Amino acid sequence: MPYRSLEECLTDLEKTGRLVRVREEVDPSLEMAAVHLRVYEAGGPALLFERVKGSRFRAASNIFGTLERSRFLFRHRLAAVQDLIRLKNDPMQAFKQPARNLGTAMAALSALPLRNPVSKPVLYEEIMVSDIPQIKHWPMDGGAFVTLPQVYTEDPDKPGIMKVLSILREQSWEHKFDVIAYSFAPERLSKRRVKARTI
C-alpha cells in the first residue's frame, strides 16, 4: 500500500531499521549537512533530526540515500512504474498483450491527479517559510537552502500530462528569500531567477 503521508513513510523506515533518530540538538548551519553527508557517503540510514536549533520542526534526511532503500519505499508501485516505462517506449505492446497490460493502464490512471470538489485539503496551521529549518550546507553558501522540491505545473487552458516539471531551490539571507527555478519541459531546459521577496 502506498504511504498516505511522510510520517507513515518514516515510521515504516524506522520499523525496518532503515531510519535513525538524531535526538541531540543539531545546528542547521553546517552541522546538519555535515552529518547528512557522512551518513550518505557511508551508505547509512535515513535520518530524522528531532531537535533542530532555531526551529520547532523536525527534519528528515537521506530518505532516498541508497538504491535499496528507494526500492523498499516504492516496493508496492515499482513494477507498475517499470511497466509504464516499458509501454511508453513500445506502445504497441498494449495492443499485442492487452490482458497483461490492463493492470498497467489502471496504474497510469491512478497516478493522475484527481479533482475532488467535495474533499478539500485540510489546513492544519499556517507557517512562514522562515519557520522551517534553514539548512546551510557549505561555508561559502550565500545563505540557507530551504527547499528543493519538484513541482509539476500545467496551463489551465491547455491541460495535459508532463507539461513542465520544475525544481525550485529557495535560498534565504537576511530574512529574504530568493527562488531559483530550473524548468524541464519537453522542448526546453531553462534556468531563471524569480524576484526575491521579504517575509
Task: Please write down the HEC assignment for all residues of 74-112.
Answer: CCCCHHHHHHHHHHHHCCCHHHHCHHHHHHHHHHHHHHC
37 in a structural domain: yes
Write out the three cell numbers for 195.
524576484
| 92 and 25 fall within a common domain | yes
Mean pLDDT to the nearest integer, 74-86 = 80
91 in a structural domain: yes
Which pTM does this prediction carry? 0.67
Residue 116 in this model has a pLDDT that exceeds 80: no
| 68 and 146 fall within a common domain | no
119 in a structural domain: no
| 12 and 102 fall within a common domain | yes
Residue 83 in this model has a pLDDT that exceeds 50: yes
Domain limits at 105? Answer: 7-113
Task: Give the integer Cα–Cα distance in Å for 29 and 172.
Answer: 12
- Give the side-chain half-sphere CA count within 13 A for 10: 15
2 in a structural domain: no
126 in a structural domain: no
| 12 and 98 fall within a common domain | yes
Domain count, the chain: 2
User: Which has more confidence, 165 or 32?
Assistant: 32
Furthest-apart CA atoms within the chain: distance in Å:
60
pLDDT (tens digit per residue) in 15-71: 999 999 999 999 999 999 999 999 999 999 999 999 999 999 999 999 999 999 999
| 156 and 108 fall within a common domain | no
| 106 and 67 fall within a common domain | yes
125 in a structural domain: no
pLDDT band at 187 (very low <50, low <70, confident <90, very high): very low
Based on its alpha-carbon atoms, the radius of gyration of the chain, rounded to whole angstroms, reads: 20
